[in-house]
């Protein structure tokens, strides 16, 4: 069996075209199911003959957008420089790899390989058709640009942040259930800022019924911040029609079920890339136990409460050797409080569960 031919290195003009492709990719929508992608087509002399970018779900992908600006046959022998590997599947649009082949493109240069199990493989299809292909060009810049979309695509689910505010001894409420306010103004302002940076905010029906939260992101004066997370309530109990969450500026998502993975799949299908979990210990425990937490935010107030109202319920850990280990990312002081940002270690196993039913 003969070895596969080596990829020719990208020329300086192709690298410059990749920088331009990243620049125009930013014209597309930053949120949603699809990534921001840019494409620059170079003629035989290395000059730019067309540019394109993806404008959102259902619209032409960047490669097809660029090709549409050329007369029939004008792309023959040209080079397409794309920030993401041309797709190899039919969704709302056809496969870009096929469109490039049919247009007569002679060479394709891309930055990041498509991580999708269905959409990937475009480079192999192009090579099989005799197109010269070089990948990994300015890959670091492109991966930084794609940011959370690429991480979500590789994980196959939205990123999950689990947050709670507690006393130093890990209590989220006093014995009588009161919890406002454990932390101070600076910590609460930080929470609202982080809410606004996420696509969705999640609580269980238990929290929705007990606290009647609005699930909005607000400023210090109580006004709504420009960016609002989609409110999501998970569980099987009904939420009153006059609940505060129904007055959220975005429609509430009511997930009738107890499976965290199923909920994340549902949210990802709608374009959600990040979820901020602010429910009580039942919801937080469910996502931690399922291995579905990427970041843990713990706001610690310098108070002691004692009692049973812990931030996390039973994780099913019987011995210290099975503890769910986290790595400290940073520690911030917020007025009198501390914010501990941590992340489960990459080797942290999913904790087996003998009971998949959650009372939320």
Catalytic residue, from 6, 14, 51, 63: name it: 63
Give the pLDDT confidence score for residue 351 in this predicted structure.
40
Structural domain containing residue 77: 12-153
Average pLDDT over residues 197-206: 94
Average pLDDT over residues 167-173: 89
Q: Is the torsion defined by CA of 135, 139, 144, 148 positive or negative?
A: positive
**Is residue 243 assigned to a domain?**
yes
**Is residue 100 assigned to a domain?**
yes
**Is residue 3 assigned to a domain?**
no
Q: Does 88 lie in the same domain as 123?
A: yes
**Is residue 34 assigned to a domain?**
yes
**Is residue 141 assigned to a domain?**
yes
Does 360 score more than 60 pLDDT?
no
Active-site annotation holds for 102: no
CATH assignment at residue 310 = 3.40.430.10
Q: What is the pLDDT of residues 205-264, one digit of tens each?
A: 999 998 899 999 999 999 999 999 999 999 999 999 999 999 999 999 999 989 999 999
Closest by CA to 80, choosing from 154, 10, 29, 27, is 10
Q: Who contacts 32 (Cβ-Cβ below 8 Å, separation ≥6)?
A: 56, 57, 271
Closest by CA to 273, choosing from 199, 201, 343, 215, is 199
Q: Does 96 lie in the same domain as 50?
A: yes
Q: Does 142 lie in the same domain as 40?
A: yes
Q: Does 248 lie in the same domain as 334?
A: yes
CATH assignment at residue 128 = 3.40.140.10
Give the pLDDT confidence score for residue 233 in this predicted structure.
96
Q: Does 172 lie in the same domain as 141?
A: no
Average pLDDT over residues 308-312: 88
């Amino acid at each position: 069996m003969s070895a596969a031919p080596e990829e020719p290195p990208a020329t300086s003009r192709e690298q410059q075209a990749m920088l331009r492709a990243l620049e125009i990719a930013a014209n597309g929508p930053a949120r949603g199911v699809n990534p921001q992608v840019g494409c620059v087509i170079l003629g035989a002399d290395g000059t730019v003959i067309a540019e394109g970018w993806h404008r959102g779900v259902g619209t032409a992908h960047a490669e097809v957008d660029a090709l549409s600006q050329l007369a029939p046959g004008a792309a023959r022998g040209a080079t397409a420089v794309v920030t993401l590997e041309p797709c190899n599947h039919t969704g709302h649009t056809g496969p870009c790899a096929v469109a490039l082949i049919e247009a007569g493109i002679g060479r394709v240069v891309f930055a990041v390989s498509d991580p999708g199990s269905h959409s990937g493989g475009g480079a192999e299809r192009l090579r099989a058709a005799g197109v010269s292909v070089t990948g990994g060009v300015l890959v670091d810049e492109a991966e930084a640009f794609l940011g959370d979309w690429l991480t979500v695509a590789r994980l196959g689910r939205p990123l999950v942040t689990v947050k709670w505010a507690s006393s130093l001894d890990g209590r989220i409420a006093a014995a009588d259930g009161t919890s406002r306010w454990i932390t101070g103004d600076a910590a609460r302002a930080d929470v609202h800022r982080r809410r606004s940076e996420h696509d969705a905010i999640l609580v269980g029906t238990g929290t929705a019924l007990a606290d009647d939260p609005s699930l909005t992101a607000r400023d210090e004066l109580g006004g709504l911040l420009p960016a609002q997370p989609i409110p999501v309530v998970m569980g099987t109990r009904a939420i009153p029609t006059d609940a505060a969450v129904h007055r959220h500026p975005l429609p509430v998502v009511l997930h009738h079920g107890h499976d965290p993975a199923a909920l994340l799949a549902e949210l990802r299908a709608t374009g959600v890339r990040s979820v901020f979990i602010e429910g009580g210990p039942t919801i937080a425990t469910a996502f931690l136990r399922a291995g579905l937490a990427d970041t843990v935010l713990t706001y610690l107030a310098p108070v002691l409460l004692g009692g049973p109202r812990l931030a996390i319920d039973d994780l099913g850990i019987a011995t210290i050797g099975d503890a769910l280990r986290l790595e400290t990312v940073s520690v911030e002081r917020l007025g009198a409080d501390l914010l501990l940002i941590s992340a489960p270690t990459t080797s942290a196993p999913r904790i087996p569960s003998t009971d998949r039913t959650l009372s939320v």
